[in-house]
Structure 1
Amino acid sequence: MTEHNTLAALNAPLAKAIEFIWHEAALLDNKDYAAWAQLWSEDGVYVIPIDPDTRDFASSLNYVYDDARMRALRIERLSAGHSPSAVDAARTLRTVSRFNLLESSGDVVEVTSAQLLFAYKRGVHTPMAAELTHRIRFGQGGPRLEQKVVRLINSTDSLSALGFLL
């Protein structure tokens, strides 16, 4: 076995997580929110905290703190065409890289990464940078997100309305 193959075998959980994270980014860029919703476990939580250092999301003020019900409502708002931000939603393009394996125990993998997102709407490009943390459970029914945390580098600044998912 070559050194590259050995590293790939040792990092198989990380490689599977990276593939999952890239797939999620593509779904979001393509506005395939129904498929994105299927990536989540029933008790999964999607969080965009304001405080860059918080670990207690439930007791902190967040831009987003979505359980399954709130994710479904957000997706409905983005997809139904009733919201002005959904009718003229920004086009997005994400690059996700700099992956770091935090945990790999049993069927759970936790990974941090860096995301650069560019949104384009009405002739204006808006760049956004964030550190992502994905907690993914690889089970019988396929991989499912248990938690996704998006830590925007400018989270303590005033942010414009976001008409897309991060």
Structure 2
Amino acid sequence: MTTSIFAPTTATPRVAQVITLAEAQALIWQEAELLDTLGYKAWLDLWTAEGYYVIPTERGDGDPVVQLNLLYDDDAMRRMRVKRLTSGFAMASSPPARTVRTVSRFVVAASEPGLIAVRGAQILVEYKYDRTRIIAADVTYRIVATDDGLKLDQKVVTLINADDPLHGIGYLL
């Protein structure tokens, strides 16, 4: 299995089940629903404690451990980010933007018992202050089987314009 798209400190699958693409898609769609409905606290429960949420500043299959990233969130940072987004004190998220995202074009990038890596595309439409903005990205997910069901272990969101200046985003991609 090629792991260049993933940070090396990922969770070890605890259940040796074969994860199907359909099962992975269901988790990805659940995540999209939670993010669009501002269910950030429930979103935290979709993750392994060892997982990373990454938004690199470059396109390509670079190593997020050594390259510059807009975000490189471990469990503690994800929790701090959610607290900030839900506190009402984050300027970029007050008031919160309305978002609708579509995730599609799913392809299995790697698979072994207990884990699956899926590549896909995301189109997110944001509405805030009478303005609509579209954000497009390639997304790679690493999903592992745990005793508590399937969990996100890695999510790498590579924006189509990753190397351009990024205007304030007050939500999770």
In the comparison of the two structures, how many residue pairs are matched? Answer: 156
- Equivalent of 2:148 in 110, 121, 141: 141
How big is the alpha-carbon RMSD for the aligned residues of Structure 1 and Structure 2? Answer: 1.2
Q: Structure 2: how far apart are the matches of 1:108 and 1:12?
A: 6
What is aligned with 2:6?
none
Q: Which has the higher helix share?
A: 1
Deviations 1:81-138 (A, max 9, x none): 1122222121100001110011120010110001000000000001010001000002
What is aligned with 1:151?
158
Q: Structure 2: how far apart are the matches of 1:38 and 1:29?
A: 16
Q: CA deviation at 1:12?
A: 6.3
What is aligned with 1:30?
37
Check the 8 A contact 1:48/1:64 in 2, yes or no.
Answer: yes
Q: Structure 2: how far apart are the matches of 1:115 and 1:109?
A: 18
Q: Give the match's secondary structure for 2:26.
A: helix
Deviations 1:130-159 (A, max 9, x none): 001000002221111110000000000111
Deviations 1:23-81 (A, max 9, x none): 00000000000100000100100000011124311211111100001101100110011
> What TM-score does the superposition give when structure 1 sets the normalisation length?
0.91
What is aligned with 1:52?
59
Check the 8 A contact 1:54/1:60 in 2, yes or no.
Answer: no
> Is 1:125 equivalent to 2:137 in the alignment?
no
Check the 8 A contact 2:143/2:151 in 1, yes or no.
Answer: yes
What is aligned with 2:111?
104
What is aligned with 2:15?
none
Q: Structure 1: how far apart are the matches of 2:65 and 2:148?
A: 28
Give the unaligned 5+ runs of structure 2: 1-17
> What TM-score does the superposition give when structure 2 sets the normalisation length?
0.87
Q: Give the match's secondary structure for 1:53.
A: coil
Q: Give the match's secondary structure for 1:26.
A: helix
Structure 1 residue ranges, 4+ long, deviating more than 3 angstroms after superposition = none
Q: Give the match's secondary structure for 1:93.
A: strand
**Residue 85 of structure 1 aligns to which amino acid in structure 2?**
A
Could you tell me the percent identity over the aligned residues? 43
Q: Structure 2: how far apart are the matches of 1:148 and 1:36?
A: 13
User: Which is higher, the Rg of structure 1 or of structure 2?
Assistant: 1
Check the 8 A contact 1:80/1:86 in 2, yes or no.
Answer: no
Q: Structure 1: how far apart are the matches of 2:154 and 2:136?
A: 19
